[in-house]
Amino acid sequence: MGKYIALHDAYLSVAEALKHGGIASKATVNIDWVDAETVTDETAPEIFKNQQGILIPGGFGQRGIEGKIAAIKYARTHNIPLLGICLGMQLSIVEFARNVCGLKDANSIELDPSTKHPVIALMPDQENVDNIGGTLRLGSYPCELDPASLSCKLYGSTTIHERHRHRYEVNNDFREVLQQYGMNLCGLSPDKNIVEMIELKDHPWFIGTQAHPELKSRPNRPHPLFKGFIEAAISCKR
């Protein structure tokens, strides 16, 4: 029990944002906390058999990474609504690169510095920085959304601002192959140099964001991504 209380405390803002999304739809949101270390391709069908949506939150470190990737794969292949936040978005790209694009050892250099396919990497201006303590991309940043994207429909605008707390970014060397296989890099920085949001073209509701949208959600003003995620979960037939 203590493990799941700790999860709830660590992700309190995410849990509250999910509830805000439920308020908008006049729905009660029931959260089943999952220990990512228990998730594999073999256990995922049993763990997620009754779930109407899967959220992969932010985080740091190696613990539970492969379980999160297995959860993302299950959501992608079973058309379950998925919202990936920060690390959740990065691992969504890792899973897609491995299992759709055929880049079998794809990874983030944060997790595997020796990977031959570093789909998540440092920005070029940070590659030679030794003291990483003050180099997080921190604070509010603008993002330009693809007008045809689901994200743009949810936000109701092509220009948004979201709060960030991360250091690793989508490696631009892999943009072409990701898009070729069906990933929409639907949100970019105004200079087009940084991928901020992703969607999958052949999935009913699959969105990843580098930002932390939970920090801007309020009971009387649910964040568009959480509102849309709960709406999609309600519509998901299980």
* C-alpha to C-alpha distance for 201 and 53, rounded to whole angstroms: 18
pTM: 0.91
Please give the backbone phi and psi of residue 148, each rounded to the nearest 5 degrees, phi first: -90, 0
Q: What is the pLDDT of residues 10-28, one digit of tens each?
A: 789 999 999 999 999 999 9
Residue 5 has pLDDT above 50, yes or no: no
Q: What are the tens digits of pLDDT across the range 73-121?
A: 999 999 999 999 999 999 999 999 999 999 999 999 999 999 999 999 9
Report the sign of the C-alpha dihedral through residues 64, 41, 212, 166, in that order.
positive
The helix (run of H) or strand (run of E) holding residue 220 is none
**Interatomic CA distance for residues 37 and 34, integer angstroms:** 9
Could you tell me the domains of the chain? 2-235 (3.40.50.880)
Note the pLDDT tens digit of each residue in 200-224: 999 999 999 999 999 999 999 999 9
Q: Annotated active-site positions, please?
A: 86, 212, 214
> Is 130 in contact with 108 (CB distance < 8 Å)?
no
